[in-house]
Amino acid sequence: MIDSSPAHSPAAERNRQPIGEVLVRWLSPGDRVLEIGAGTGQHAAWFHGLLPEVTWQTTDRAEHVDAIRARLAAEEPALPPPLTLDVMAADQWPAG
């Protein structure tokens, strides 16, 4: 059974502010970010609060998507739902 409760990462909690300080200098309203390996979804929720006009698309392997979905629904329901993406699965990438 896959746990769908929001996970918590102490590292994401610690580094979100310094990363956010850089992102607010580089991102503009209307920009889109693809987060590969969103893990707990904590960064997406936090960064959307800092940059509400930026679309933050989370992705992760199937076993993490339900927990990310739960966090975003509770904290940032305006964000799009997470997408399943396994970067190690060759069939998920275009040929070439």
pLDDT in tens, the chain (96 residues): 555 556 778 888 899 999 999 999 999 999 999 999 999 999 999 999 999 999 999 999 999 999 999 999 999 999 999 999 998 888 877 776
Distances (CA, A) of 27 to 37, 42, 55, 56, 87: 20, 18, 10, 11, 24
Report the alpha-carbon angle 74-82-91, nearest 5: 165
Distance, in Å, from the CA atom of 29 to the CA atom of 48, rounded to the nearest integer, reads 11
